[in-house]
Structures are given as structure tokens and as C-alpha cells.
Amino acid sequence: MPGVRIQGLSKRYGDVAAVEGLDLRVEPGELVALLGPSGCGKTTTLRLVAGFLKPETGEIWVGERCLSSPASVVPPERRRMAMIFQSYALWPHMTVNQNVAYGLRFTGTPKADRDRRVNDILKAVQLEGYGARYPGELSGGQQQRVAVARALVVEPEILLLDEPLSNLDANLREEMRFEIRRLHEQFAITTLYVTHDQAEAMVISDRVAVLQEGRVAQIGTAEELFQRPRTRFVAEFIGRTNLIDGVAEGTGVVARGRLRLRVAAVDLMPGAPVAVSIRPHQIELASRSATEWTTKCRSTTATSSCAWRARRRRACGSARRSARPSRPARAFPCRQAAASPASHRRARHPRGAPAAAVALAPAGPPAARTARTRRGGQGGSAPWTRSGRR
């Protein structure tokens, strides 16, 4: 299978540049997803590759053949490509067999060979026995499989898919992702896949090309785009992240105020403004006590477990203290009211009252102390109060 090479491709609609200086290379047998927000030029690029549009600048090569340039454009029917549209584009008045065999009618394939290839491809997409049905009698996922079978049966060199799963519900969409990947591994056709769904692009493709304003911002595997984004746009578009603006201080060091961050990039120019991307799952929160416990751990990977144990011990200690029975307050009887010290004294709580109700009774001046009466009239062992009432 040949590869695809796009060089300096541009397409404008009036004053709006849908594609501007796009460069892309797809290796033979590779599946590359064109990923980006609406209006970034994904579908326009796919239509330029298919031959539906004429570029203003740039060239499109498939193998050793130049298919598109400002001077000439090879018609779509002579490009040996197949395209799967977002709306499936099935003939409603034809059966499944007739829809799948439609492209073979223009290649001069004998009827016996045509029927054999249709049956084989329907078996490959798990639609064996559905050949006599019409598209209106099929589910959305089955119609999508018919569109895939029609594209594969002609054995194209290049397969183009324009958001083929956007009309399916969530369950069917997830099922068809793996189905398309399985068919790609079986037939090994060079494929361009347009989508705006990040999960879909990462599951299906070998590499992902992120488009921004008609250009390729970055191309690489899903892991490369997530772990090592080259631009702020790619970092924000792929997954979720926190961006911290700073200034490069040297190899692998970025400064923001008094904060110094060690980063993976080693080709930083000192003094250049940079943005540091920190994914949420890479952030760990630790308290001061957790840090103290960490210093007692032998392994730095045990930070979170040590912090958890420290919090657990504090919580258990508080629970044990709260569950401990309260001790009764000690009573300090005074033998003689006149001989009571001038310091604060503790009065005995009434019989049966909770210990928490006992409070300190401040001692008054000597004149007030002589006016205090004893409770119960039981000699010098009875406690005294300010008012003499119980």
C-alpha cells in the first residue's frame, strides 16, 4: 500500500483560509486521525485528498503519483480511493448486496467474482445474512457497517473517513471504534480518519495530527501528545491540564517568582517565556504533618500512605479521648468561712449534676466572705457558696 504526502497545501474561501500551508505525511498502511475543533480544516483537507476540491497551493502525492496541484487534479474516480461519509450515503432503493457491489460494477468485475467478494466483505463486517435487506430495515450501526463494506470491497489504496461515527449513540460508537480498528489491522489500508472526538482518535489511530487554523500543530502518538505537547493549544485541547506561565532559567528549569520547577524539556533558551503543563492526576496534596511523617519514611513513594497514617492516628486519639468517661470534680471544703483563702476555690456540684456543670467560684473581698453562710449547717466540712442557696 502506498503512503500519502501533503506539501504546503492551501485552500481559501474568499478571505477565509480553511487550509493554510498544511504539511502531512502518512506512512504506507498507517491510520492517521485528523483531530481538531470545528473550523480547523479537517474535512476540507480530506476533500482535497479525495479530489473533490482543487488546491490553491501545494501538492498531494500518493506513492509516486501527484494527484493534486494548482495545475491539475486527478478526478476522484481515478484515484483508487474510497470515502466513508458522515451520513453513510447509502442508496435507499437498493439492498445491502446492491449497495456493497455498486463500486464493483464500474471496475468490470465479473458477476460471479462480484458476488463472492460481496459475501466475503459482509462476513468480515459481521453482516452475513443481511444482503437482501434495505437500508431502512437496518440499525444505525448496521448501516455504518454497510458503508464500510462498500468502501473496502473495491480494495482501495487509500481509505478516507469523515466523522463516520458521529450519528451513532454512545454504545454503538464505542463498538464501531474497535470494529474499524479491527478491520484496519486485517486489511492494512492507508487511512485518513477525520474526527473531533479525542477518545475516538486515540483508540483508532496509529498517530494523531492535531489541526489548528488550517495547519498541523503537532503530530504523534496519543501518548506523545498527552505527555509532551509542543504548544499551549495542544496541551489544552488534549485532555485537561493546568498551565503555569514562567521564564526559562536553563536546561530543564522554569522560574515563576520564587518558585523553581524542573521540567522534561531540555532545549529551553534562558530568559524565554514558557508555559508549564501540569496534568491534574500528577498533583498530590500534602499537609505539614504529612511532610513530617514523610521524613521518617525510608521510601519517598510512601508519602501518601504515611500522611494517611498520621491523620488516622490523630483521629483515633481524638476519638479515644472523647469516649473516655469524665472524672468527677474534686471538692475543696473549707473548714471555716473566715479562714478560706483569697484564691479561687472550686465548689462541689450538687448531687446528681454532671461534672461539666461544675464551675469555679471566684472569692470575694473579706467583707463578702464573712457574709457567706454554710450549706446544710453541718460543721466545718460543708462547702460554702456566695448566696447560701443550694
117 domain-assigned:
yes
Residues 157 and 290 in one domain: no
Radius of gyration in angstroms for the set of CA atoms belonging to the chain, rounded to a whole number: 40
367 domain-assigned:
no
66 domain-assigned:
yes
What stretches of 288-374 adopt beta strand conformation (E)? 345-346, 360-361
CATH label of the domain that carries residue 124: 3.40.50.300
358 domain-assigned:
no
The mean pLDDT of 201-210, rounded to a whole number, is: 94
Residues 215 and 270 in one domain: no
19 domain-assigned:
yes
Average pLDDT, the chain: 79
**Statement: residue 387 has pLDDT above 80:** no
Residues 53 and 91 in one domain: yes
User: pTM, whole model, 2 decimals?
Assistant: 0.70
| All three cell numbers of 31 | 491510520
- Domain span holding position 279: 240-299
SS3 state at 158: strand
Q: Model confidence over 89-143: pLDDT tens digits? A: 899 999 999 999 999 988 888 889 999 999 999 999 989 999 999 999 998 889 9
User: Which of 202, 227, 252 is the last residue before a domain boundary?
Assistant: 227
Residues 214 and 244 in one domain: no
**Statement: residue 153 has pLDDT above 90:** yes
373 domain-assigned:
no
SS3 state at 10: strand
Residue 60 confidence (pLDDT): 97
Name which of 64-78, 88-102, 130-144, 330-344 the model is least confident about: 330-344
Residues 202 and 252 in one domain: no
**Statement: residue 340 has pLDDT above 70:** no
**Statement: residue 348 has pLDDT above 50:** no
**Statement: residue 303 has pLDDT above 50:** no
Residues 255 and 288 in one domain: yes
Residue 261 confidence (pLDDT): 87
Residue type, 201: A
370 domain-assigned:
no
Q: Give the whole-angstrom CA distance, residue 250 versus residue 268.
A: 6
**Statement: residue 237 has pLDDT above 70:** yes
Residues 269 and 161 in one domain: no
Name which of 11-20, 102-111, 177-186 the model is least confident about: 102-111
Residue type, 108: G
Q: Give the whole-angstrom CA distance, residue 294 versus residue 278.
A: 23
Q: Model confidence over 36-55: pLDDT tens digits? A: 999 999 999 999 999 999 99
Q: Closest Cα to residue 291, out of 307, 314, 309?
A: 307
Domain count, the chain: 2
Task: Check: CB of residue 109 under 8 Å from CB of residue 116.
Answer: no
User: Which of 265, 283, 299 is the last residue before a domain boundary?
Assistant: 299
Q: How far apart are the first and last CA of the chain?
A: 104
Name which of 27-31, 76-80, 306-310, 374-378 the model is least confident about: 374-378
SS3 state at 334: coil
Residues 165 and 255 in one domain: no
Q: Give the whole-angstrom CA distance, residue 216 versus residue 54.
A: 20
- Give 301 or 191, the one with higher predicted confidence: 191
Residue 99 confidence (pLDDT): 94
Name which of 100-114, 180-194, 278-292, 325-339 the model is least confident about: 325-339
Residues 34 and 175 in one domain: yes
Residues 67 and 216 in one domain: yes
Residue 309 confidence (pLDDT): 52
Residue 175 confidence (pLDDT): 87
**Statement: residue 367 has pLDDT above 60:** no
Residues 89 and 38 in one domain: yes
- Give 23 or 334, the one with higher predicted confidence: 23
114 domain-assigned:
yes
Residue 377 confidence (pLDDT): 43
The mean pLDDT of 189-205, rounded to a whole number, is: 93
